[in-house]
Amino acid sequence: MKTSISIEQYLQKVARFSASDYGKMIRDQFKDIEGSSELAMLVAPSDEELEQLKKAVAIMTPAEKQNAADLTDEQIQKIAADAQIDPAILAIFINGYILHCKHAS
């Protein structure tokens, strides 16, 4: 798949509302009964989620970054394990990146 932006640029886009009043409002609107709001992570990640994503993207190889849309579940889990982050957060981020790239093309 041809990507319109790099994964680093997508991370910057996702980070723009982190810890802002707007981001907090979005997160509150998407909370479930347990208080989590994973779907809102791609609009307004928490500081912790953003730091985890930065760690994961930082350790990805150039080939993984270039071909992020082709990463398997196992590769995503390995990257998350190597970065010592929650694999679900990385999977949501990668899937959001793929959807963004498909929508932009």
Over residues 58-104, the pLDDT tens digits come to 999 999 999 998 999 999 999 999 999 999 999 999 999 998 888 76
User: For the chain, how many structural domains are there in total?
Assistant: 1
In a domain, 19, yes or no: yes
In a domain, 17, yes or no: yes
Read off the pTM.
0.83
In a domain, 67, yes or no: yes
In a domain, 29, yes or no: yes
Q: Which domain holds residue 57?
A: 7-104
In a domain, 82, yes or no: yes
In a domain, 1, yes or no: no
Closest CA to 39 of 27, 50, 24, 54: 27
pLDDT above 60 for 1? no
For the record, the structure tokens of 7 come out as 């994964």
In a domain, 2, yes or no: no
